[in-house]
Structure 1
Amino acid sequence: MGKKVDVLGPDLAKPLVLALNLDRLYFHCERTLSNTKNDALPIMFSTSLLRDAQGRDSGAIMVFSDLSQIKKLEQERNRAERLASVGRLAADLAHEIKTPLVAIKTFAELLPEKFTDAEFQKNFLKVATKEIDRIDSLVSQLCNLARHPPLQCESLDLHSLLEEVLTLLSGQIDGQGIQLVKDYAEYLPSLQGDRDQLKQLFLNLIENGLENMPQGGRLTISTLFENERLENGKYLEVKISDTGSGISSKNLRRIFDPFFTTKEKGTGLGLSICHRIVSDHKGFIEVENNKDGPGVTATVRLPLLPDLLEEDLDAIDSDSQQST
């Protein structure tokens, strides 16, 4: 009692300061605190304002709970799921690599008797190069899926990022005769995220939409700033919709599984990588068939993780300086 809020440490003090100065409240937000021994303590907290009898703000309160046991159970569950997925992944990888190896082996077995055949040499070179490139692509994508590089977060304009991706794919969009529809929100706050990873995310999703419409169609990209509060605060939403043939309900359940694909030339790793990128950003991704027509919609929700506290505090400091 009677002590400054700073004694709580910045992770707990900042939300209280924001509640008092900007009326910004947090509901069920997660944080990780560190004690003097640098042990991590995961917590969930909510803030609320205190008001006097006249309804005027008189203080702020924070309620938090220890998530250590919950996180421990989650880690054990994730470990069990990873072990199960490793077996499936190994079997799928063996199958995917075996297919090009069979083609190379078949030609190699014929090599002694057709070594001087110019046409055979030409075909062997073509097939071997193609299949080796396919194996190399599989291994590279698998490494990207397995690797969890630390996020290099920066303040991003989501609309500008989407425009960069569309510029990269403009040739394919025009070549397929795709009608591009942009339904962008009038206002989107800046997003804290990894530029390269999010660019890869939207590149994969938009390419999927284009591949679903080889004979042309309509690609719709919409954005939304959801001002409602979720468990982890506010979020930005991006929807990418195509007018292709859609996905069967049986396949829809497996689209994020590594190596699962219905495409002749697909590796089945694109959406798995998308899922990993969104998860690393503490977001959500779902893919579903359109309810009002043919095609598929991929929805990505990226939270404004506990909401740019540093920028808000800077704004408070600036206002204080101007008032003095």
Structure 2
Amino acid sequence: MMNGHPVPAQMDSDLLHEAFRSFDDAAATLQQSYQTLTSRLEQLDVELADRNEALRKNLRVNEELREHLTAIVESLSTGLLVMDEAGTITRCNQAGTQLLGLPHEQIIGRSLATCLKDAHLDGDVYPLTTQQGAAVSLSQRALQTSDGRQAGSLALIQDVTAMRELEDRLQRRNRLAAMGEMVGRIAHEIRNPLGSIELFASMLRRDLHDAPAMRGYAEHISSSVHMMNRLLTNLLLYTKPDCSHRERHETEVLMLNALTLAAHAVAGARVDIRLDVNPLASHMWCDAGQMKQVLLNLILNSIHAMPNGGTLTLSARPTAEATSGGAGICLSVSDTGIGIPAAQRSRIFDPFFTTRDEGTGLGLAIVHAIVEGHRGRIDVESEDGRGTTFTIVLPNHHTTSPLPIQASPDLSFSEGYPASELIAERLLVGEETSA
């Protein structure tokens, strides 16, 4: 020191120490900041990895949800079409393409009106009818976002054929029930005076044995009364078929008995007869008398439909179709006749509807009533000039052993030819039967 003041060298050393100390402090602070930044960066990396994993998980969930919703949309039996704000179809599910009857590429990118016109569904009759004959309904509504903005529209095309058939069947049943009640009352009212007419006609026949001409008039009266009684019996059978005596019977025997009853019609027709009874349908649960009536009416209809000859086929097979009694049996009566015109098929089971001048129009109505009385159903398929098939599906209960039925007595023609022998002649057996 000089005169109490530090020398320059000492001052430089102090300054240098101070500088190093400041540098060390700054370096320590920088090191701490670096460590803090590194720690934060590692934390951000972890958070980013967690968020990326969450995002990937959300993407997987969204993809699975999209695939699930797509599967639901594609599996719908209702056609679904999505349109944008301009009315252009942007999406159509499989049912939509099937109901429209157009390829998928001819639907996407076009307007709904154009597609309906191409599918011939632009008529004014509701429900609309496809080229395949199915009845479809069309409904359309706007699509909106969560904030209320319009985001295009949605069209639904639904096959309502079965629903319309059920509605028609219900209307028909209600209509026929009212008609049947009225007919039943009238039939009962007419039967009483017919009984008196028959009584007095029999008395006249007895008292006019010495007047053959007058006795003939009385016999004509009795004959007409019997004919009226048969008609009334059919009317009452239609209104209230008695199917309460159901037992297990041999299917083939029922068919042969019905054929024997129809022998008078078979005699004058060039008709071959085939029987095809599946062994699993060898027995059926029914009212034998009523079922023979059903088969007889269907056989007679088939014979009348083959004026130039043909083949009549009676078949039976088991069916897994659900019926009110569980497993069912399916009976079919087919012919190769003239067929039923399409315009008449919806009315053939209506009472008093007939296309023959001599018919009463009750045969198929009675068949329908008896089948429904057995809790079954009857359908018809026909093609003009190719033939007709009536199919009956009935519940088929099972018991431990079959109850045999009595064969119908042989019917004879005026020449004395047994009906059963005629049926045997016309019956195709062996290999041909299984065809």
Q: TM-score, normalised by structure 2?
A: 0.41
Q: Which has the larger radius of gyration?
A: 2
CA distance in 2, matches of 1:80, 1:298: 20
> Number of aligned pairs?
207
Q: Is the 8 A contact 2:275 2:313 kept in 1?
A: yes
Task: Tell me whether 1:296 sits opposite 2:388 in the alignment.
Answer: yes
**1:163-199, CA deviations, whole angstroms, 9 ceiling, x for partnerless residues?**
1112232353243111112222133253221111111
The structural deviation recorded for 1:302 is 1.1
Counterpart of 1:259 in structure 2 is 352
Q: Is the 8 A contact 1:290 1:297 kept in 2?
A: no
Assess, with a 3 A threshold, how the Cα gap between structure 1 residues 229 and 275 changes in structure 2: closer, same or farther: closer
Counterpart of 1:218 in structure 2 is 311
1:294 maps to a residue whose letter is R
Aligned runs of 1:183-202 on 2, under 5 Å?
183-188=276-281, 190-202=283-295
**1:222-241, CA deviations, whole angstroms, 9 ceiling, x for partnerless residues?**
21112x24253211111111
Counterpart of 2:234 in structure 1 is 141
**1:140-169, CA deviations, whole angstroms, 9 ceiling, x for partnerless residues?**
211221224351111111111111112232
Task: Tell me whether 1:177 sits opposite 2:270 in the alignment.
Answer: yes
Assess, with a 3 A threshold, how the Cα gap between structure 1 residues 88 and 145 changes in structure 2: closer, same or farther: closer
The structural deviation recorded for 1:277 is 0.8
Give the RMSD, CA atoms, in angstroms.
3.7
Listed as ranges, the gaps of 5+ residues in structure 2 are 1-166, 191-213, 402-435
Assess, with a 3 A threshold, how the Cα gap between structure 1 residues 166 and 134 changes in structure 2: closer, same or farther: closer
The structural deviation recorded for 1:281 is 0.8
Assess, with a 3 A threshold, how the Cα gap between structure 1 residues 80 and 179 changes in structure 2: closer, same or farther: closer
Task: Tell me whether 1:277 sits opposite 2:364 in the alignment.
Answer: no
Q: Equivalent pairs: percent with the same residue? A: 34
Counterpart of 1:7 in structure 2 is none
Assess, with a 3 A threshold, how the Cα gap between structure 1 residues 84 and 279 changes in structure 2: closer, same or farther: closer
1:280 maps to a residue whose letter is G
Q: Which has the higher strand share?
A: 1
Listed as ranges, the gaps of 5+ residues in structure 1 are 1-73, 98-120, 313-324
**1:184-224, CA deviations, whole angstroms, 9 ceiling, x for partnerless residues?**
21332532211111111111111111111233221111211
Q: Is the 8 A contact 1:204 1:274 kept in 2?
A: yes
The structural deviation recorded for 1:303 is 1.3
CA distance in 2, matches of 1:80, 1:288: 21
Assess, with a 3 A threshold, how the Cα gap between structure 1 residues 80 and 257 changes in structure 2: closer, same or farther: closer
1:238 maps to a residue whose letter is L
CA distance in 2, matches of 1:236, 1:184: 11
Q: Is the 8 A contact 1:209 1:241 kept in 2?
A: yes
Q: TM-score, normalised by structure 1?
A: 0.54
- Runs of 4+ in structure 1 deviating by more than 3 angstroms, as ranges, are 77-80, 82-85, 87-90, 121-137
Higher relative contact order (CA 8 A, sep 6+): 1
2:332 maps to a residue whose letter is K
Q: Is the 8 A contact 2:294 2:367 kept in 1?
A: yes
Assess, with a 3 A threshold, how the Cα gap between structure 1 residues 133 and 78 changes in structure 2: closer, same or farther: same
